[in-house]
Structure 1
Amino acid sequence: MRCGVRWSGVALLAVLARLGAAPVTVSAGELTVSLDPADGYAISSLRHRASETELVAPRPAGVKQDRALWLLQLRDAAGQTRTVSATGLAADCSAADGGLKMVWREVGAALGADLTVTATATPRTDDIAWRIEVAGQAEGVLWQVDFPRLLGLRGLGDDQLALPEYLGRLVRQPADHTWRRLLVYPQPASMQFMAWWGSQDNREPELAHVDGRLAETGWMPYRGDHLGLYLAAEDGRGYYKVLGAQGGEVKGQFGWWLSHVPELATWPLPAGRQAVAYALPYEVVTAGFYGDWHEAAERYERWAAKQVWSARGPVGTWADELPDEADGRARFVPRWFRDIAFWGKFYFEPAKVLPELAAYRQWLGVPMASHWYRYTIAQFDDNYPEQLPADPYFREAVRMGRTMSVPTLPYTNGSIWDTDTQSWLREEGLAAALKDEAGGIYPWDIHGDIFAWMCPATAAWRAKIRETSHKLITEHGCPGVYLDVLVAGTPRPCYDPAHGHAIRGGNHYGAGNRRLLYELRERERLTDPEAAFFSEEIGELYNDLLDGHLTLDQLRSTPPPGEQVWPLFPAVYHPYTIYFGSDSSLETPLDQLAWEMGQMLIWGSQPL
């Protein structure tokens, strides 16, 4: 079936305007999507089928708004980036796999390009799967692909939006104030979906306003009868991408999209005309639903439970003894780690820490553990990832901690290397560092010391983390290691061809960290079967290769008014991993401390 006729540019639009060409549609489950051939097949309607509610607002009069289904960024050897969108472009449209196939030809001609863009929208049981391919030639390379773009979404009155930022974020009334969020995956985007739900029925009581925006509140009225919209990338390999969302560009509207980063074969970019051949390596899905964040999380969990990071299974299926095979050793969570009821966080020398451990253990009378900072001779935040030599009494203190049943896991950093250490020079750390476009390191300045962000796709960096962890576990008797930043840190594109991974895009960062953790855990369990490893913050990609996640969102994050930290990640992954936190202090007033501890328990965290 043909659902469009190929014409060139302005001529097509003129004919369609006269003929009033109807939008083409694809439906699945609770959602019908309409794409307008007179507008370059931009999404012109998202209709919630059962309620017949339209979720896309009319175009605002007098406001230029590009609602193109896709945007392409092209980058040339001189570093100039240019954008091409589907707006105003002709396309062929035909039926394919029960859905739609749209083909734009001669794309980017004004920029010296000759590209063919093919996008498909395929209905499945209760959602619509989207794919895009770009092929042809261009002056430079394909740098970024934004697709699909769902813009002009309208607020219904009582609206909420969930974002997968670390533990999760809840944005209230996303269409009514100006905001913008670009979440890089695999961090700070801990998952790959966003969800909105709304109703014209405003729930009482109305929320107070602060500076013209809704203030955060600790309660949530029932919204299980709301209309919902869901957008997700079904990427089980951890490709680098960006989840984008914004509100307030046009009053009463918000929008969201995914940005995909193609792999490059060489760097620096060669001059002249280059072949382009890109196919999105996963599907993006849209769906309508009834409910709120609970139902959105259930939908995502049905897919996530089948991915490699859920291979360990729910906690009730975990092995009680270390398995013999390598995969089992890498994914094993020791019993003592599962049974922790309280986490401590202690600083400085053993003479200070040991009495504190003993007092907490005696008073609480529950299984507990601690992570330990500033146990080194060097000043804090220096020499990462090497934290030895430690205090002369550190090894004995670790042993005594084990004796009183308080495992203490020392702190180090799993993502950066101090550039003024002897090991950086002698072991040629520069070769294993992430490289920016100019071939330099990505620096992190900590109190005047410069650290380099490291590339986990390199064997040298993975070996360095194994070495530092092995010394803490075997030479000092530590029951495990706290690898800070490994999960919390935002991936940086790497432009070093010598590393052997795809340049800029791809999944080398997440896959490299997974390999790092797998090798570390599988090998170290041969020495200490119950060694445990965790990192700060939370991310699905590492669920099966960490014993737990330290989450600090509740108390360290300061979202703007109208936005708050929300347990979106636990709603999906509570059966599959352990998390603990947040970051309470001894100076906290008792009533506030009780609230903090209660929130951690309600959200499924081991309290800290």
Structure 2
Amino acid sequence: MKTIKKYYCLLVCFIMLGSLVSCGSNDVGEDLSIDNGKLKLSFSTENGSLVDFQDLIHDYEFLDDTGTLELPWEVNFNESQDSLTAAPANFTYSKSGPLKVILKWSGFKGETHKDFGITAEVTLDEEKALSYWKISLDGTHGKQINSVVFPKISGLKNMGEEKLAVPTWMGQILDDPREYLSQSTKDEKKMAWEYPGPLSLQCLALYNPDKVGLYTAANDTETFRKSFSFTLDKSNNLTYRMLNYPSFDKEVNLYAPSYEGVIGSFKGDWITAAEQYREWGGAQKWSLESRFEKGLNPKWLEETALWVWNRGYSENVLVPAADLKQRLGLPVNVFWHWWHGCSYDEGFPEYLPPREGKESFVQAMKTARDKDINAIVYMNSFQWGNSTESWKTENASEYAVKDINGNMRTHSYNIFTGNSLTNMCMATQFWQDKYTSLSDDVVNTYGTSGVYMDQACMNRACYDSNHNHPLGGGNYWLKNFGKLTNQIRSKFSEEKPSILAGEGGAEGWMPYLNAFLTLQVSRERYAGVSRWETIPFFQAVYHQYAITYGNYSSLVTPPYDALWPEEFRPDNLERPLDPKFNKQFLMEQARSFVWGMQPTISNYHSFLASKRKEEIDYLMDIARVRYKGLKYMLYGKFLRAPKIKIPEEELNISKLSIYAGRKGKGVTAYKKEHPLVYVGAWKADDGNIGIPLASISEKSIDLNFTINKEDYKLPSKGKVFITNKEGRELLFDFSEGDIQINYELSPREVSFIEVVPSS
């Protein structure tokens, strides 16, 4: 294919002055507005640009009135297509009732685009401060469209003290995104996120918590590929874009996405936005058909009290797990890397036989199962090392993802060898059969309890016409991931319940994966300290539909794969980190507890029980107390935690990989303020409210806070209990008025408060 260096943009922005306009409705006049009493949208009768975006409840106008009249869409073609340099000659409009406008553009210049037309329908919700934006393109026959931007909202003025919440994997939040963007050295000051993939759900929230907020989303129930972005202009205004990706099909003459863009207003914070999205997302098939919701998870997975994430031979993985299980007295299971016979991050998928040999591995797994320890093993979900022998002998390149120029997508993750991994196309039967065969072997021949599918919740655009899927855009990746997991499970025995876990959190994958590895709970350990802060956005929306686990929380220096080059092997493998970073470990475990995750420790060894006794004891407190409150922390629905005044402390933070030393690079140290108590709130199916508390302080802390009955929909009477490692104790009965909590948390106490309504 012809090399494509850039895309041309159709009508990115312009001022429609003196253009030819045809009015399609006599009763509209000059007022092209829709209003539902909560939200008002007005469009220019000259060119259809959005000129007024008002939150009527809070009397707020989102748009800067000094901005240019930019169209609410862009169409980006390949360079091989004729570019459009002038505005369309015709713009018509009409209103279909008080809540809907229909906008049409036609008469584009150029022979190629003479039959090209764009229709946009914008509809206000009858009850909510939401609007729905739908677009269709006529005359697409013979055209290669890279993306259709719609909706595009330009001229978003500063709300003051803004925050931006993004559900990237778990979720993250940024203070003052405009100032953050202004520091960019790139010509285009832009932040963008892909869905499905890094975005676990289709929603962004830009807001001033005391003023008003912008809610942007999509109501796509079929997980089509798209992306969302914010760009900053020279006037310090933001432009929001949702990019939709049509598949390349020259025979099709119409592109009309089955879903709509959602634009709205709200008052609150990221939790408010998550609750609004949850109302929609919880009713979709990925929630109703999730394995957790349908009771399709093995009992052992839901009963997991603690995961051990270790690497290497069985004696370095299963033996430490058995040690910790004995100390804890609750179910411990294993998340196992580097079990395979190939070098990590280059030898995939030549996993078998295991590096310690078949007989040793099988016997170790049998011994572990006899102790009720289940192990899931690492296998990347779509990578193939192109330096492997199998890459050549199995002609793997034929089934690899191809970009628009016909090139394979490769990346070198292994810094020690420089060898690359290449993306395999999920839609090919070849790859589905290959991965199914491997999964069948590791579970049924080698005795594991399942597979961790690394990079599972990702999405790749493939342009190989031989792969029998739409080219580029579409939703074929997730559909074929579903086919793959169904094919794998057809090989599993009901007598030996096994699971498939995956990296990240993603709404569309919930019917296919049993558990999700959400590592942002310890983001500082792999990304350092930055202005982005982790939030449990995914859990706030989907906790009751998906089991999340995992973190990078470790007390030792990283291991080194025995199959990597000897010359780069460090001397201090898996030795205790500087004690000054111990509190970081506590912080990560506290977050996991109150955010409703299954606890995990990375690189555990029995010597830590004495050398880092306080930290391991804290981890076991987390596991034991959580186990007493599974109705909340596993099965419960996320609620907003009560407001509590909590002291903070400057912590020592380490940035250090947990599984790959960095060629002589040691710990990168930071200091950052963190709260000394972590708090959550969960609602059980029986209506009880659980409020987990986890102190990381060496001192006692007095907590004084109010539980507002109206906020939690509680009746007038009931009881309040406290549960910690000592047991469960009644604090008091409550009747009239709100519930006032006065409780002294002991040093490093882990507990949860229960509010139990009277029957």
TM-score normalised by the chain length of structure 2: 0.67
Q: Is the CA contact 2:51–2:69 (under 8 Å) kept in the aligned structure 1?
A: no
TM-aligned CA distance change 1:258 to 1:375, over 3 Å: same
Deviation for aligned residue 1:579: 0.6
Does the residue aligned with 1:333 lie in a helix, a strand or coil? Answer: coil
Distance 2:140 2:536 in 1: 45
Distance 2:301 2:586 in 1: 24
Aligned equivalent of 2:148: 145
TM-aligned CA distance change 1:423 to 1:106, over 3 Å: same
Aligned equivalent of 2:538: 569
More relative contact order in 1 or in 2 (CA 8 Å, sep 6+)? 1
Aligned equivalent of 1:375: 339
TM-aligned CA distance change 1:15 to 1:596, over 3 Å: same
2:276 paired with 1:299: yes
Deviation for aligned residue 1:461: 0.9
Deviation for aligned residue 1:528: 5.1
Q: Deviations over 1:214-238 (max 9, x none)?
A: xxxxxxxxx4x54222111111111
Q: Alignment RMSD, CA only? A: 2.7
2:264 paired with 1:287: yes
Letter in 1 for 2:522: L
TM-aligned CA distance change 1:255 to 1:131, over 3 Å: same
Distance 1:532 1:28 in 2: 48
The gaps in structure 2 that reach 5 residues or longer are 1-14, 24-28, 182-188, 557-576, 601-759
2:464 paired with 1:496: yes
Q: Deviations over 1:19-74 (max 9, x none)?
A: xx845212346321121233x222222111112111112235xxxx6732000112
Larger Rg: 2
Q: Is the CA contact 1:29–1:287 (under 8 Å) kept in the aligned structure 2?
A: no
Aligned equivalent of 2:371: 404
Letter in 1 for 2:96: A
Q: Deviations over 1:196-245 (max 9, x none)?
A: 221xxxxxxxxxxxxxxxxxxxxxxxx4x542221111111111111112
Distance 1:601 1:147 in 2: 40
- The 5 A counterparts of 1:142-291 are 142-178=145-181, 180-198=190-208, 223=209, 226-246=211-231, 248-265=232-249, 276-291=253-268
Q: Is the CA contact 2:383–2:423 (under 8 Å) kept in the aligned structure 1?
A: yes
Letter in 1 for 2:146: W
Q: Deviations over 1:323-382 (max 9, x none)?
A: xxxxxxxxx111111121211111111233333122211222222211111223332223
TM-aligned CA distance change 1:519 to 1:41, over 3 Å: same
Q: Deviations over 1:400-446 (max 9, x none)?
A: 22222221111111111223434433433222211122323211224
Runs of 4+ in 1 over 6 A off after TM superposition: 13-16
Letter in 2 for 1:283: E
Aligned equivalent of 1:358: 322
Distance 2:191 2:493 in 1: 44
Does the residue aligned with 2:522 lie in a helix, a strand or coil? Answer: helix
Does the residue aligned with 1:118 lie in a helix, a strand or coil? Answer: strand
Deviation for aligned residue 1:466: 0.7
Give the alignment partner of residue 444 of structure 1, picking from 391, 408, 411. 411
Distance 1:462 1:84 in 2: 45
Deviation for aligned residue 1:450: 3.0
Q: Deviations over 1:546-597 (max 9, x none)?
A: 1111111232453884422221111100110011121111136332211110
Query: Which is further off, 303-312 or 564-573?
Result: 303-312
Aligned equivalent of 2:522: 555
Aligned equivalent of 2:384: 417
Letter in 1 for 2:191: R
Distance 2:54 2:476 in 1: 38
Letter in 1 for 2:475: N
Aligned equivalent of 1:598: 590
Q: Deviations over 1:150-198 (max 9, x none)?
A: 1211222222221121111212122344252211111111111111221
Q: Is the CA contact 1:74–1:83 (under 8 Å) kept in the aligned structure 2?
A: no
Q: Is the CA contact 1:27–1:128 (under 8 Å) kept in the aligned structure 2?
A: no
TM-aligned CA distance change 1:284 to 1:584, over 3 Å: same
Aligned length: 540
Deviation for aligned residue 1:510: 1.9
The gaps in structure 1 that reach 5 residues or longer are 1-7, 199-222, 267-273, 320-331
Aligned equivalent of 1:216: none
Distance 2:299 2:163 in 1: 39
Does the residue aligned with 1:158 lie in a helix, a strand or coil? Answer: coil
Give the alignment partner of residue 38 of structure 2, picking from 14, 22, 30. 30
Distance 1:446 1:584 in 2: 22
TM-score normalised by the chain length of structure 1: 0.83
Distance 1:137 1:171 in 2: 39
Q: Is the CA contact 2:290–2:512 (under 8 Å) kept in the aligned structure 1?
A: no
Aligned equivalent of 1:52: 59
TM-aligned CA distance change 1:131 to 1:318, over 3 Å: closer
Letter in 2 for 1:378: C
TM-aligned CA distance change 1:99 to 1:532, over 3 Å: same
Deviation for aligned residue 1:82: 4.2
Letter in 2 for 1:94: S
Distance 1:408 1:591 in 2: 29
2:448 paired with 1:478: yes
Query: Which is further off, 439-448 or 288-297?
Result: 439-448
- The 5 A counterparts of 1:7-156 are 10-12=17-19, 22=30, 24-28=32-36, 30-38=38-46, 40-59=47-66, 67-75=70-78, 78=80, 82=83, 90-96=90-96, 98-109=99-110, 113-125=114-126, 126=128, 127-136=130-139, 140-156=143-159
Distance 2:446 2:484 in 1: 22
Q: Is the CA contact 1:548–1:577 (under 8 Å) kept in the aligned structure 2?
A: yes
Deviation for aligned residue 1:99: 0.6
Distance 2:111 2:172 in 1: 41
Letter in 1 for 2:125: R
Distance 1:462 1:151 in 2: 43
Does the residue aligned with 2:107 lie in a helix, a strand or coil? Answer: strand
Deviation for aligned residue 1:112: 5.0
Does the residue aligned with 1:107 lie in a helix, a strand or coil? Answer: coil
> What is the identity percentage for the equivalent residue pairs of Structure 1 and Structure 2?
26
Does the residue aligned with 1:470 lie in a helix, a strand or coil? Answer: helix
Does the residue aligned with 2:373 lie in a helix, a strand or coil? Answer: coil
2:502 paired with 1:532: no
